[in-house]
Amino acid sequence: MHPGLAADSVLRRALYALAPERLMLKLAPGEFVSGVSPDGVPLRARGEAPAAAEAAASGDELARSPDGRWWLRSSDQGIKGWVFQTAALARSANVSPVALLPHEWMIRRAAFTSDGRWLVTVTGQASADAESPSATMLVGHTVRVWSTEDQRERTRVSLAADGGIADVWIDPTGEWLATLTSEADASIARTWPVRPERLRELACSLLKRNLSPSEWLTFVGDGTPRATCPGLPVVSE
């Protein structure tokens, strides 16, 4: 209803509670993730896991869109305060960037969706400066999604306090991301739809109805009540 970084983060985390069987995979002993399929399913394998994937870059290149319209390069411009690395988004190689995308830590992986409309970046591991992750503000281990059309950040979800991101995979089309988190008793693979519109579609596919009038007043509070998920029924009161 009110798109923004906070709303996107809340929705993504809520979906893991609503549909853990769809978006979370607990690995058994001896299992590891080898990638993620184009429909967002982590690919499981057994045996000795390969080394964690790092950014596959040529020089300062971080990623390029499949159609070659967008390039992402590492840049030392705008690095100050909490900005540890910036990514320069340009419309082609060797031209001035249209935007500098700030990050709080080194970018570990980056990829564009197949149509170049969305860009996902993942910051890498950083050392903890407290015994308990919840006792400090840890950097790194953050998933971001950017709109290339207006260069705005649309998603920011940090997994630093959840055990961090041990490994990350992006499907060949750039539509799905999978992250591996080492938690207290197991390794957990999470899948992430990159596009915000696909995130909303996934949420609506898991619901059975729209907000009731009283729920609208409680949780939205303003404007004329409308369907948050078109096609689903509205409960009468």
Question: What is the model's pLDDT at position 46?
Answer: 86
Q: Cα(46)–Cα(146) distance, rounded to whole angstroms?
A: 34
Q: What percent of the chain has pLDDT over 70?
A: 89
Question: What is the model's pLDDT at position 151?
Answer: 95
Average pLDDT over residues 107-126: 91
Amino acid (1-letter code) at residue 68: G
pLDDT, one tens digit per residue, over 55-80 is: 544 468 999 999 889 999 999 888 88
- In the predicted model, is pLDDT for residue 204 greater than 60? yes
Residue extents of the structural domains in the chain: 5-193, 207-237
* Mean pLDDT, all residues of the chain: 85
Q: Cα(81)–Cα(215) distance, rounded to whole angstroms?
A: 42
Question: What is the model's pLDDT at position 130?
Answer: 47
Query: Of 5-19, 117-131, 151-165, which gets the smallest average pLDDT?
Result: 117-131
pLDDT, one tens digit per residue, over 146-171 is: 999 999 999 998 888 777 888 899 99
Question: What is the model's pLDDT at position 82?
Answer: 84
